[in-house]
């Protein structure tokens, strides 16, 4: 495995090197993609595929007595991210490379990625993911590419050429060392760079303590520097105002900007040209301290006028927002920021002062509005609203689906939208068909290429709609069903090894895999399963013969401190225990929780599923990208009209999926009604079963049941339950008609073209970044 990886790496490095020489020579405008998280998964199969050397490698390995697929499965995931936001960053990198854009990714090289989930007696436990244990063949350590990053200290005034200036006298310095990760494009020589920073103790600082004789303490303190890049925060959308997190953000931002500015200054003299050469994309607000950092460098170090510097900043930055709820937006306590980055706090105050002055011109003395739009939030804990900082500066603010952008315009950032409507743009997310079809579903890949008569769809996914023509072709149906069966067999084997549950390949594989969240309503799924179980228990033998057998697969991680989510995981296991061991049920219903869900598990599960579930309460899922991967793989969707599912329905036709539940604009009114809303009797019954201890752990599940009853039910499980069951019944009826099902499946794949990250990246390139491809000659 190591030898194989290093051999592939050599080929990667050649292209990566040539690409950078070429970029350097052409000096195009570059896009720099800043993200605190990248969820890359495995590299071997992806690299081999994108380099187009799979057949040669497979042959060579066979001659040596090895099996390519077996070796490939040895590789562990690079899991430097939490979920959708981070995997989306990874898909975007693949598209940027494939489409020949002069792009760089910048992030943090965490030593510990997202925790490993292990299940003990049905409860989630977290274990550290020390992924670098056996070395990482996919990175190139660049000991000579390093920059000092400063923290703490004070701000002093200085007079320079008769002008008063501020200078920051930092109190601590940490070294950022670059680790480069080549990202190969498909069908091109281009390979771009993902540069991740690791923290190392700085050599210059702390000389004092050496001379004063406190040798031991000096060494211990040096080592503390490394903690900055130690571990990824595992909460996917709650921000706790932690010092380490702020240091992580500034650390990677400062190093990246030093790197970007050095590259710029190598060839250019004046920062006037900066916006013609540099576009900075910030992935959510996590890197938004970069706005203050650019201002600090331009004003304090390059001595530009404030207004000139601000003009430059406003022309280079654009942001993508992934959050839906105003509460999901990041805030940093002023005291914290002032202590870690005192000069940046001053700069943010100055930005805010000028912003509020400008706002007054439009809104006069509307103080409510001014305080809502301010970057500073007053209150018990005075804090910086990172989203407002981004809104004040960025030339574009991107939503990740049409409904999401609508929510941003009308609710989350209403005031800003009214002021600057032109900033707000929709860039519906996408996923890369290279990883999600070519790598993970090779049989489907061959079928598509065969029927389209070309492999061109791998780079130009619009062509995939050509499959529509054959949606009723019996020969295609046969190939399609075989493909699905083979994939289901692989998945069934995996399930059996992991959980010892034997599942029938004739059953409908019904899957929900994603982070565990109340809004994603895994609990609705479980209550639906309980309902189905209850029905089967009350059937006689002839009724049972009409039941469509189901394998219900659930997987996902709960944030370590998220109690409700952890209870949902336990409920999955408690229900599985009961159902899977009930002789009355047999193969009619199996419940499986797949532990430690990650990118490579997704690559195995998605191709083998028949139906996938996307159950978020309407208005809560910004986009959702899992559904796109299922769609590409011809799995039917059972979904609420939320996020990207709305656009999927437009592409493939609502009749080709199973939609249910309250609509986005009905949700607020339904919530208003609160207690007067009664879920169906069926709903009350299944919740009661859990409450009464039918699945054990009565006391433990009480608070979980409380979240959906007694007028609580914020996510409207009770309200949506009947419609959910109806959609499930519709899926059953369709499954019985295999011809119809296969046709819908083909139409799903055929309609998935829009949801390629290639399309997303083209939109970003044209509408937000203003960059052109720069294709390295072969």
Which residues are the active-site residues?
A: 322, 514-515, 520, 625, 629
CB of 66 or CB of 519, closer to ligand Z2T: 519
**Range in contact with ligand Z2T (rule: CB under 6 A) among 113-121, 311-319, 615-623, 653-661:** 615-623
The helix/strand/coil state of 295 is helix
Measure the CA–CA gap between 206 and 300, rounded to whole angstroms.
25
Measure the CA–CA gap between 338 and 382, rounded to whole angstroms.
11
Instruction: Name the burial class of residue 159, with classes exposed (0-12), middle (13-18) and buried (19+) by CB atoms within 10 angstroms of its CB.
Output: exposed
List 192, 323, 574, 662, residue binding ligand Z2T (CB under 6 A):
323
How far CA 252 is from CA of 248, 279, 554, 701, in Å, comes to 6, 17, 35, 42
Measure the CA–CA gap between 124 and 561, rounded to whole angstroms.
11
Site map (CB under 6 A) of ligand Z2T, residues 77-116, x = contact: -----xxxx--x----------------------------
Within 603-744, strands assigned E span 611-614, 636-640, 658-660
Cβ-Cβ contacts under 8 Å for 419 (sequence gap 6 or more): 359, 362, 373
Question: Would you count residue 375 as binding ligand Z2T (CB under 6 A)?
Answer: no
CB of 114 or CB of 345, closer to ligand Z2T: 114
CB 256 within 8 A of CB 289: no
Site map (CB under 6 A) of ligand Z2T, residues 568-607, x = contact: ----------------------------------------
What is the closest distance, in whole angstroms, from the C-beta atom of residue 384 to ligand Z2T in the complex?
17
Question: What stretch of H or E contains 127?
Answer: strand 123-127
CB of 42 or CB of 515, closer to ligand Z2T: 515
Site map (CB under 6 A) of ligand Z2T, residues 483-522, x = contact: ----------------------------------------
What is the closest distance, in whole angstroms, from the C-beta atom of residue 408 to ligand Z2T in the complex?
12
What is the closest distance, in whole angstroms, from the C-beta atom of residue 90 to ligand Z2T in the complex?
11
Cβ-Cβ contacts under 8 Å for 639 (sequence gap 6 or more): 613, 614, 615, 627, 645, 648, 657, 658, 659, 660
CB of 13 or CB of 564, closer to ligand Z2T: 564
Contacts 24+ apart (CB under 8 A), 57-60: 57/4, 57/8
| CB closest to ligand Z2T, residue no | 84
List 322, 477, 550, 570, residue binding ligand Z2T (CB under 6 A):
322
**Range in contact with ligand Z2T (rule: CB under 6 A) among 254-262, 322-330, 486-494, 523-531:** 322-330
What is the closest distance, in whole angstroms, from the C-beta atom of residue 643 to ligand Z2T in the complex?
6
What is the closest distance, in whole angstroms, from the C-beta atom of residue 35 to ligand Z2T in the complex?
11
What is the closest distance, in whole angstroms, from the C-beta atom of residue 119 to ligand Z2T in the complex?
22
CB of 323 or CB of 445, closer to ligand Z2T: 323
The helix/strand/coil state of 596 is coil
What is the closest distance, in whole angstroms, from the C-beta atom of residue 410 to ligand Z2T in the complex?
18
Residues 246 to 275: which contact ligand Z2T by CB under 6 A? none
Token pair for residue 362?
Answer: 């439009």
Question: What stretch of H or E contains 511?
Answer: strand 508-513
Phi-psi group of 78: left, alpha or beta (phi > 0 → left; psi -120 to 50 → alpha; rest → beta): beta
List 181, 193, 398, 429, residue binding ligand Z2T (CB under 6 A):
429
What is the closest distance, in whole angstroms, from the C-beta atom of residue 232 to ligand Z2T in the complex?
11
Sign of CA dihedral 469, 474, 479, 481: positive
CB of 257 or CB of 324, closer to ligand Z2T: 324
Relative to beta strand 376-377, strand 383-385 is antiparallel
Measure the CA–CA gap between 753 and 747, rounded to whole angstroms.
11
Return phi, psi of residue 591, to 5°.
-120, 125
Measure the CA–CA gap between 295 and 312, rounded to whole angstroms.
9
3-state helix, strand, coil in the chain (%, to 5): 55, 20, 30
CB 646 within 8 A of CB 622: no
Residues 179 to 198: which contact ligand Z2T by CB under 6 A? none
CA 534 to chain centroid: 36
Rounded to a whole number of angstroms, the CA Rg of the chain reads: 27
What is the closest distance, in whole angstroms, from the C-beta atom of residue 407 to ligand Z2T in the complex?
11
Question: What stretch of H or E contains 482?
Answer: helix 474-499
SS (H, E, C) 187-223: CCCCEEEEEEEEEEECCCCCHHHHHCCCHHHHHHHHH
DSSP 740-751: HHHHHHHHHHHT
Site map (CB under 6 A) of ligand Z2T, residues 5-44, x = contact: ----------------------------------------
List 100, 284, 300, 651, residue binding ligand Z2T (CB under 6 A):
284
What is the closest distance, in whole angstroms, from the C-beta atom of residue 256 to ligand Z2T in the complex?
20
Token pair for residue 301?
Answer: 């170090």
CB of 140 or CB of 400, closer to ligand Z2T: 400
Count of residues near ligand Z2T by CB under 6 A: 19
Measure the CA–CA gap between 276 and 271, rounded to whole angstroms.
10
Of 404, 354, 453, nearest to 616 (Cα)? 404
CB 575 within 8 A of CB 591: yes
CB 71 within 8 A of CB 4: yes
What is the closest distance, in whole angstroms, from the C-beta atom of residue 552 to ligand Z2T in the complex?
23
CB of 320 or CB of 440, closer to ligand Z2T: 320
Question: Would you count residue 608 as binding ligand Z2T (CB under 6 A)?
Answer: no
**Range in contact with ligand Z2T (rule: CB under 6 A) among 76-84, 341-349, 462-470, 593-601:** 76-84
List 174, 196, 359, 400, residue binding ligand Z2T (CB under 6 A):
400
**Range in contact with ligand Z2T (rule: CB under 6 A) among 100-108, 321-329, 688-696, 719-727:** 321-329
Question: Would you count residue 328 as binding ligand Z2T (CB under 6 A)?
Answer: yes
What is the closest distance, in whole angstroms, from the C-beta atom of residue 493 to ligand Z2T in the complex?
30
CB of 146 or CB of 407, closer to ligand Z2T: 407
CB of 284 or CB of 610, closer to ligand Z2T: 284
Residues 616 to 645: which contact ligand Z2T by CB under 6 A? 621-625, 643
CB of 170 or CB of 241, closer to ligand Z2T: 241
Residues 214 to 243: which contact ligand Z2T by CB under 6 A? 236-237
CB of 205 or CB of 436, closer to ligand Z2T: 436
What is the closest distance, in whole angstroms, from the C-beta atom of residue 226 to ligand Z2T in the complex?
25
CB of 626 or CB of 679, closer to ligand Z2T: 626
CB 480 within 8 A of CB 745: yes
CB 513 within 8 A of CB 555: yes
List contacts with ligand Z2T (CB under 6 A). Answer: 82-85, 88, 236-237, 284, 322-323, 328, 400, 429, 621-625, 643
């Amino acid at each position: 495995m190591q030898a194989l990886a290093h051999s592939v790496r050599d080929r990667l490095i050649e292209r990566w090197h040539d690409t950078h020489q070429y970029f350097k020579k052409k000096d195009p405008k570059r896009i720099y993609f800043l993200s605190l998280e990248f969820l890359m998964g495995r590299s071997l199969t992806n690299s081999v595929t994108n380099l187009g050397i799979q057949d040669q490698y497979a042959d060579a390995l066979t001659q040596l007595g090895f099996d390519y697929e077996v070796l490939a499965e040895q590789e562990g995931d690079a899991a430097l991210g939490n979920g959708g936001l981070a995997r989306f960053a990874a898909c975007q990198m693949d598209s940027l490379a494939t489409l020949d854009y002069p792009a760089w990714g910048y992030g943090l090289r965490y030593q510990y990625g997202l925790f490993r989930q292990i299940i003990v007696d049905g409860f989630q436990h977290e274990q550290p993911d020390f992924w670098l244990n056996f070395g990482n063949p996919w990175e190139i350590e660049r000991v000579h590419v390093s920059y000092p990053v400063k923290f703490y200290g004070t701000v002093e005034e200085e007079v320079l050429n008769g002008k008063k200036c501020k200078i920051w006298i930092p109190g601590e310095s940490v070294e950022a060392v670059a680790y480069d990760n080549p990202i190969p494009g498909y069908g091109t020589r281009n390979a771009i760079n993902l540069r991740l920073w690791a923290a190392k103790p700085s050599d210059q600082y702390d000389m004092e303590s050496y001379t004063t004789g406190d040798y031991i303490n000096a060494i211990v303190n040096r080592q503390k520097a490394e903690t900055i890049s130690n571990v990824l925060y595992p909460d996917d959308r709650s921000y706790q105002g932690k010092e380490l997190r702020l240091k992580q953000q500034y650390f990677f931002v400062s190093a990246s900007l030093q790197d970007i500015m050095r590259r710029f200054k190598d060839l250019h003299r004046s920062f006037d040209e900066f916006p013609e050469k540099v576009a900075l994309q910030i992935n959510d607000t996590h890197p938004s301290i970069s706005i203050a950092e650019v201002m600090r460098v331009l004003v304090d170090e390059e001595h530009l006028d404030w207004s000139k510097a601000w003009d430059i900043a406003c022309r280079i930055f654009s942001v993508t927002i992934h959050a839906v709820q105003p509460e999901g937006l990041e805030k940093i306590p002023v005291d914290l920021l002032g202590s870690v980055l005192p000069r940046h706090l001053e700069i943010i105050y100055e930005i805010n002062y000028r912003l509020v002055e400008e706002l007054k011109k439009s809104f006069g003395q509307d103080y409510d509005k001014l305080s809502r739009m301010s970057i500073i939030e007053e209150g018990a804990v005075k804090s910086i609203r990172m989203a407002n900082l981004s809104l004040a500066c960025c030339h574009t603010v991107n939503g990740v689906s049409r409904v999401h952008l609508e929510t941003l315009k009308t609710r989350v950032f209403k005031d800003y939208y009214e002021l600057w409507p032109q900033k707000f743009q929709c860039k519906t997310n996408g996923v890369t068909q290279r990883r999600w079809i070519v790598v993970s579903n090779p049989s489907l890949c061959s079928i598509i290429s065969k029927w389209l008569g070309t492999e061109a769809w791998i780079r130009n996914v619009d062509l995939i709609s050509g499959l529509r023509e054959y949606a009723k072709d019996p020969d295609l149906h046969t190939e399609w069903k075989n493909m699905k069966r083979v994939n289901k067999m692989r998945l069934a084997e995996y399930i059996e090894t992991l959980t010892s549950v034997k599942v029938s390949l004739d059953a409908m594989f019904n899957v929900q895999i994603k982070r565990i969240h109340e809004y994603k309503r895994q609990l609705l799924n479980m209550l639906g399963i309980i309902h189905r179980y209850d029905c089967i228990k009350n059937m006689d033998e002839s009724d049972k013969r009409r039941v469509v057998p189901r394998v219900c697969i659930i997987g996902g991680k709960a944030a370590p401190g998220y109690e409700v989510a952890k209870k949902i995981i336990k409920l999955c296991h408690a229900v599985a225990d009961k159902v899977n061991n009930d002789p009355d049920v047999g193969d009619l219903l199996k419940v499986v929780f797949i532990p430690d869900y990650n990118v490579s598990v997704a690559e195995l599960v998605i191709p083998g599923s028949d139906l996938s579930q996307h159950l978020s309460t309407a208005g809560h899922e910004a986009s959702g990208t899992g559904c796109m991967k299922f769609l590409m793989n011809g799995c039917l969707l059972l979904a609420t009209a939320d996020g990207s599912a709305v656009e999927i329905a437009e592409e493939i036709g609502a009749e080709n999926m199973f939609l249910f539940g309250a609509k986005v604009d009905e949700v607020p009114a339904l919530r208003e009604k609160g207690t007067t809303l009664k879920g169906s009797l069926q709903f009350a019954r299944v919740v009661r079963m859990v409450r009464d201890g039918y699945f054990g752990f009565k006391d433990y599940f009480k608070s979980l049941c409380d979240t959906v009853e007694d007028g609580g039910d914020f996510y409207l499980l009770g309200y949506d339950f009947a419609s959910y069951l109806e959609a499930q019944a519709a899926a059953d009826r369709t499954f019985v008609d295999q011809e119809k099902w296969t046709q819908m499946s083909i139409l799903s794949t055929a309609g998935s073209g829009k949801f390629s990250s290639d399309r997303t990246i083209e939109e970003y390139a044209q509408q937000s970044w203003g960059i052109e491809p720069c294709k390295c000659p072969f």
